Amino acid sequence: MENKKVLIGMSGGVDSSVSALLLKQQGYEVIGTTLELFPGSSCCNTNTYIDAKNVCNLLEIPHFIYNCKEEFKKNVIEDFINCYANCKTPNPCIECNKYMKFGYMYEKAKELGCTYIATGHYAKTEYDNKYKRWVLKKSRAGKKDQSYVLWNIPKQLIEHVIFPLADFEEKEQIREIARKNNLKVANKPDSEDICFVPDGNYKRFLENNSEIKPKEGNIVNSKGEVLGKHTGLYNYTIGQRKGLRISYNVPLFVLGFNSIKNEVIVGEEQELYKKEITVTDINLLLVDQIDEWMNVEVKTRYSSKMSKAKIIQQGDKIKVIFDEPQRAITPGQSAVFYLDDIVVGGGKII
C-alpha cells in the first residue's frame, strides 16, 4: 500500500492552511510544520505559530515547530548580504525554497516517515510521459503562479512534492474554502515583503546586520564623466531613475556599478536594453544537459512577462539570446526557462 504520509509547511496563512485541509480531504496522513527562520519576521512570529497550530488543531493533525534560524542565516541571510555587497540584487525566496522549504523540510519529512512534502505555493508537479520524468509546471493561477521562485529546488524532490493549490485560478476560491471550513485565517492578508525585512527597508536591514555602510562615491556616465554623487552602491538598482539628484538634458537611469572605483554608472534608456545574458549556478529540472540551442520562454524577474529566447549550456553556465532586447536585466536575479508551462530550469544572472 502506498505511503500517503505528507509533511506540509504551515506559515499560518490561508494558502498553507487550505492546502493542509485539501490534503486531509484527499486521504493523506497530514503532519503540519512551521519553520522558525528569523526572529520577528513576518513568516515566523508568535501569531504565525498560533494561527498554524490552531488550524492543525481544527484539522486534528499534529503540528511541529523546528528551530532552523542558524540554517536560515547561513543559506539565506548571508547570501542576501553577499549579493548586495557585490552589487547584485538577490531574490531571497529562491534561496529559502531551495535550502529551507525543500531542503531542510524534506529531511525532516524523511525523519517522520513521510513520502511527501507539501506547501501552499501556486505551482504544479506531475509525471510527464513525453519527457519520462516528473516535472515542475506553472499552476493555473496566472499572475499569482509561483513556479518562478521554485526553479532551484533539487530535481530529485519533484516527485515527492505536492502543491494542493495547483489547479485554482483565483485567490478568492482559496479564501472561500477557508470560510466554509471555519478556518479563522480565511481573510488574513497576504505577506508581500521579504519575510526578514517586514518594514520593507532592506537598506536599513543591511546597515544594521552587515559591514555594508553608506559610502559616498561618484555617479558617472559610460564615458566615465562625473555627473554627481551617490550615497552607497547598495542604495541603487539597475533601471532606477528617481533619486539620482542629477540635472541632465535627458532622463538618466542606473545601468550598473563599478565596485572597484565605487561608482554608479548611469545612461540613457536605450542603454538599459540587452539582447544576451549569461546565467550561472544553474539547476536543470527538465533535461540533464542543453548541448544544442533550445527555444524557450524566459522570465528574468518574478513580475516580468515571458520573453522568447534561445539557450545553450556552456560548461557550468547557460548563454541566453533573446529574440527582442530586454530592459533592465539585473545581476543576482534569476532567469527561469519554460517550455510551454513546464519549467526547464534556471540560473542566476551575472
Give the active site residues. 96, 195
Half-sphere exposure of 32 (CA within 13 A, CB side): 31
Residues 115, 95: contact at Cβ < 8 Å?
A: no
Confirm if 344 and 335 have CB atoms less than 8 A apart.
Answer: no
DSSP-derived 3-state class of residue 312: strand
5-9: strand order across its sheet: 63-67, 29-36, 5-9, 116-118, 161-162
Specify whether the CB–CB gap between 343 and 283 falls below 8 A. Answer: no
Quick count: other Cβ atoms within 10 Å of Cβ 242? 6
Q: 301 and 330 in contact (C-beta within 8 Å)?
A: yes
The x, y and z cell numbers of residue 262, run together, are: 565605487
